[in-house]
Amino acid sequence: QVQLVESGGGLVQAGGSLRLSCVASGRSGSIFSINGMGWYRQAPGKQRELVAVIMRGGRTNYADSVKGRFTISRDNAKNTVYLQMNSLKPEDTAVYYCNAVIYDSGGFRTDYWGQGTQVTVSS
């Protein structure tokens, strides 16, 4: 089992920066046991979308809308994944959710989610 706790959201003006943190815990909460972790976001009236992903091997991927502005990283010692958000735009306003994916020996996929943290970018 994995528990995820996000923090770091808040209100910032356009062009500013925020860093989101996601701490994993629980029996399977070690980053070494998690196949992939990512950040999703959901804005009012819009579908939830993938923002950034980091795989267990370190490979990363980003949505086109955030490339060059956001960076996903991890600290294995702290069991934490970060999302550094720079040059924020009002369009980035959303609830951001941390996601962890674990595959068992039979290939069954389980997704775990944090409670979400609000990011609001004012213009």
- Provide CB contacts within 8 A for 93, sequence distance 6+: 43, 119, 120, 121
Question: pLDDT confidence of 7, banded at 50, 70, 90?
Answer: very high
Determine contact, residues 91/63, Cβ cutoff 8 Å: no
SS3 57: coil
Which of 50, 45, 41 is closest to 18 using CA atoms? 41
pLDDT tens for each residue of 52-83: 999 988 999 999 999 999 999 999 888 899 99
Those residues whose C-beta lies under 8 Å from the C-beta of residue 81, and which sit 6 or more positions away, are: 21, 22, 24, 31, 37, 39, 54, 72, 73, 74, 98
